[in-house]
Amino acid sequence: MDPIHETLKYLLASQLTRRYQEIVLKMPEIVLVGGGAKVADVQQGVLLGYIDLCNEELLLHKCGQIPDPIWESWKSGIIAGNSLVAIKQVWKDLKKSDHYSELATFLKDNGVDVFKIG
């Protein structure tokens, strides 16, 4: 792979990391520490933005656009983040949508059933 393409992959990863940080800063602490926060307690749009970002990261990884060392770190974060009760409550509303089916399958293959709370 040429150096320019490799550099672009790392720049993309940097932009996605910045989006992640912006989303996490908007999440109440109780969501991040795994408390039993209800979606009504947090901004559902922020949590949906997190799920959307995870989906985008997965799809970019599958296309070879995310360097493997970065993906390995993100993968564990995606699995942990989507295990949180508040995030699963948002997934419950997405159950009928096919938009995030690849992410839901990836998570299930990694031990997280996003449609099962508790």
114 located within any domain: no
**What would you report as the CA-atom Rg of the chain, rounded to the nearest whole angstrom?**
15
117 located within any domain: no
pTM of the model: 0.79
* pLDDT tens, residue by residue, 8-38: 888 888 898 888 888 877 776 656 656 666 6
Tokens of 30: 């109780």
99 located within any domain: yes
116 located within any domain: no
Report the candidate in 62, 8, 53, 7 with the shortest Cα–Cα distance to residue 27. Answer: 53
* pLDDT tens, residue by residue, 39-74: 665 578 888 899 999 999 999 999 999 999 999 999
Domain residue limits at 13: 3-109
Tally DSSP H helices, then E strands, for the chain.
6, 0
87 located within any domain: yes
Total number of domains constituting the chain: 1
78 located within any domain: yes
